[in-house]
Amino acid sequence: MKRRRTIYEGKAKILYEGPEPGTLVQYFKDDTTAFDAKKRATIEGKGVLNNRISEYLMTQLNGIGVPTHFVRRLNMREQLIKEVEIIPLEVVVRNVAAGSLSTRLGIPEGQPLPRSIIEYYYKKDELHDPWVSEEHITAFGWASPQDLDDIVNLTIRINDFLSGLFLGVGIKLIDFKIEFGRLWENDFMRIVLADEISPDSCRLWDIATNEKMDKDRFRRDLGGVAEAYSEVARRLGILPESIQGETKGPVLVK
């Protein structure tokens, strides 16, 4: 079989050349890392689950008019996406204090925030993705004031929509990270949601028990990572038989 050209390989995904110009294939690996890849593991079936979950969330967001890079899922681990110019920012939205916000500002984990807070991190592994302000972003030209305006407006809509969607299946959206890209259509440029939205990039807590259903299970050695991701998929109504098929060996066909 002809090897496809790899455009970019990250910690959890690979981007391959797409079947036609302006497209890429996004492949979801089972690899997981934390703390600047100092901690690593392979979690069987994680890539399959994130592919499905991200497909579902991006499709729902498309449905309310949030533009995304997502075109369609191709198979268990791959989706077709539009090629975009990634804006080098991790946009984090927080609804409840957790993680680095709690550590940095001494706000107890689990404390609801007075309002949703948007933070920006500059995507630069060598610098450990430092926290930056809008001033840095516009001064250094990572995004223009108009780009940032679009990013904030989309981010607020995404947060509202996803908070409600997860609440409907008994999950609290504590915080999440998203990325945006510039999509060029002739001379016209649009900012679109890119990358992925999955339990790797969100904090998701069970509404009744506050049990963690996201990557913190790996970061904090809580165990049951794949089981938690499966439960998120199951609650969203998107856990197909085939996911169990891939990870648990042959399945009896009735």
**Residues 200-219: x/- map of binding to ligand TMP (CB under 6 A)?**
-xxx----------------
* Alpha-carbon dihedral 222, 106, 173, 36, rounded to 10 degrees: -60
CB of 106 to ligand ASP, least distance (A): 20
Spatial CB neighbours of 100, under 8 Å, sequence gap ≥ 6 = none
Is residue 34 at the binding interface for ligand ASP, with CB under 6 A as the rule? yes
CB of 119 to ligand TMP, least distance (A): 7
Buried b (16+ CB within 10 A) or exposed e, 86-121: ebebbbbbbbbbbeebbeeeeeeeeeeeeebeebbb
CB of 34 to ligand TMP, least distance (A): 8
Structure tokens at 233: 């998929």
Q: Which is nearer to ligand ASP, 126 or 241 (CB)?
A: 126
Stretch that binds ligand ASP, among 27-35, 62-70, 109-117, 224-232 (CB under 6 A): 27-35
Stretch that binds ligand TMP, among 69-77, 78-86, 92-100, 146-154 (CB under 6 A): 92-100
How do strand 23-28 and strand 31-34 relate by DSSP bridges? Answer: unpaired
**What single-letter amino acid sits at 153?**
N
Is residue 11 at the binding interface for ligand ASP, with CB under 6 A as the rule? yes
Contact residues for ligand ASP, defined by CB under 6 A: 11, 33-37, 215, 219
Contact residues for ligand TMP, defined by CB under 6 A: 92, 98-101, 175-177, 201-203
